[in-house]
Amino acid sequence: MTKAFQSRHPEISNNPNIREPQREAYEALARYANDANDSAREVGIVLPVGCGKSGTITISPFAFRSNRTLVVAPGIAIASQLHSDFNPTNPRMFYQKCAVLNAVS
């Protein structure tokens, strides 16, 4: 079984296709995930409308090097959008659209 979030190295920090709030959220999550002194189990990211929350959700598992990721959406429309953003058979999925995984890992 491929562990995509553990074995792939996404291009986020220097990626011009990633919006600044998405990049900042990802970097904050990565710092949080790497902080061995922080024993809190929950973390939240707050972004205004139009800043790319769906994209941020899509790249967040890489910050944690997740084995599995569960995304809970508040409605069918958002769930459908997130499914499309994560779906590797969709040529416009977030990783392809924003060239997140173009580099060889």
pLDDT digits (tens, 9 = 90+) for 62-77: 998 888 888 888 899 9
Is 86 among the domain residues?
A: yes
Is 102 among the domain residues?
A: no
Structure tokens at 73: 């959406």
Q: Report whether 5 contacts 63 (CB < 8 A).
A: no
Which is more confident, 15 or 4?
Answer: 15
Q: For the segment 5-30, what is each residue's pLDDT rounded down to a tens digit?
A: 877 789 998 999 999 999 999 999 99
Residue 92 has pLDDT above 60, yes or no: yes
Is 22 among the domain residues?
A: yes
The CA distance from 76 to 46, in Å, is: 21
Q: What's the domain range around 24?
A: 4-97
Give how many domains the chain has, as a whole number: 1
**CA dihedral sign of residues 11, 13, 15, 17:** positive
For residue 97, the SS3 value is: helix
* pTM of this structure: 0.82
